[in-house]
Amino acid sequence: NAGVMQNPRHLVRRRGQEARLRCSPMKGHSHVYWYRQLPEEGLKFMVYLQKENIIDESGMPKERFSAEFPKEGPSILRIQQVVRGDSAAYFCASSPGTSGTGNEQYFGPGTRLTVT
Amino acid sequence: RKEVEQDPGPFNVPEGATVAFNCTYSNSASQSFFWYRQDCRKEPKLLMSVYSSGNEDGRFTAQLNRASQYISLLIRDSKLSDSATYLCVVNYGDYGGSQGNLIFGKGTKLSVKP
């Protein structure tokens, strides 16, 4: 059973470019979460999605960041006009549900974004 | 006050030692509790969920005290491979519409020496 997959693992962008990060949840999981980890910091929640729906985006910056989880294909976290402060590790997690043991979240290997 | 607080360490212990980590959380509405471990530059890996009755998995024992809003993790007979950062994590469940998102502590670093 493949785990959560993320790609690319490493992404380098120049200031002002766009970054697209992809996440495929574990088989059987319909809940996807994105987290960001700045250097020497803890993980911070960004957004929670189910297929075709954003459930909670309370952790997303108001500008330049967007996320989707289409009916077909992976979840995408998109960062427009990247700035140096966007450099971080972006982790995706998935879970089969949100209650009981179903809310245990399993993380992908992350995408390390470097903005030059 | 931070939502989830942990002693950052580092805890430097010899192989075979018993080590305990503590964590406090500020929101009494928290419903689910977890310990994750994170190796350097890797993703967090779920170590165990923490239940009100306490639970044990091999050398690892987790305890929850809801009244004190306190979670602990005990590692017995520590191994070199236990060296990692241990993350205390809470989830508010459906409280306030937040549903699924996890609130992470900044972690406690453990280094097990030969």
Residues of chain A with Cβ-Cβ distance to B94 below 8 Å are 98-99
Mean residue pLDDT across chain B: 90
Q: How far apart are CA A71 and CA A69, in angstroms?
A: 7
A98:B100 CB<8 A: yes
A91:B98 CB<8 A: no
Interface test with chain A among B43, B46, B86, by most A beta carbons within 10 Å? B43
- In this prediction, residues A85-104 reach a mean pLDDT of 84
Nearest residue of A to residue B87, measured between CA atoms: A42
Q: How far apart are CA A19 and CA A105, in angstroms?
A: 24
Per DSSP, the residues of B82-109 read G-EEEEEEEE-TTGGG-TT-EEE---EE
- In this prediction, residues A97-101 reach a mean pLDDT of 65
Share of chain A above pLDDT 70, in %: 95
Q: Could you tell me which residues come within 8 angstroms of residue A31 by beta carbon, excluding any fewer than 6 positions away?
A: A25, A48, A49, A50, A94, A95, A96, A97, A98, B100
Angle at A15 between CA A10 and CA A17, to 5 degrees: 70
- In this prediction, residues B56-78 reach a mean pLDDT of 95
pLDDT per position as a tens digit, B6-56: 999 899 999 999 999 999 999 887 778 999 999 998 999 999 999 888 899
Instruction: Match 């005990």 to its residue by tokens.
Output: B74
- Whether A1 shows a pLDDT value over 60: the answer reads no
Identify the pLDDT of residue B54. Answer: 86
Burial A81-107 (b: 16+ CB within 10 A, else e): ebeeebbbbbbbbbbbebeeeebbbbb
**Cis amide leading into A8 (omega within 30):** yes
Identify the pLDDT of residue B97. Answer: 47
A48:B100 CB<8 A: yes
DSSP H/E element including A89: strand A88-95
**Could you tell me which of B37, B47, B100 has the C-alpha nearest to residue A33?**
B100
Residues of chain A with Cβ-Cβ distance to B32 below 8 Å are 103
pLDDT class of A101 with cuts at 50, 70, 90: low
Nearest residue of A to residue B4, measured between CA atoms: A42
pLDDT per position as a tens digit, A25-36: 999 888 999 999
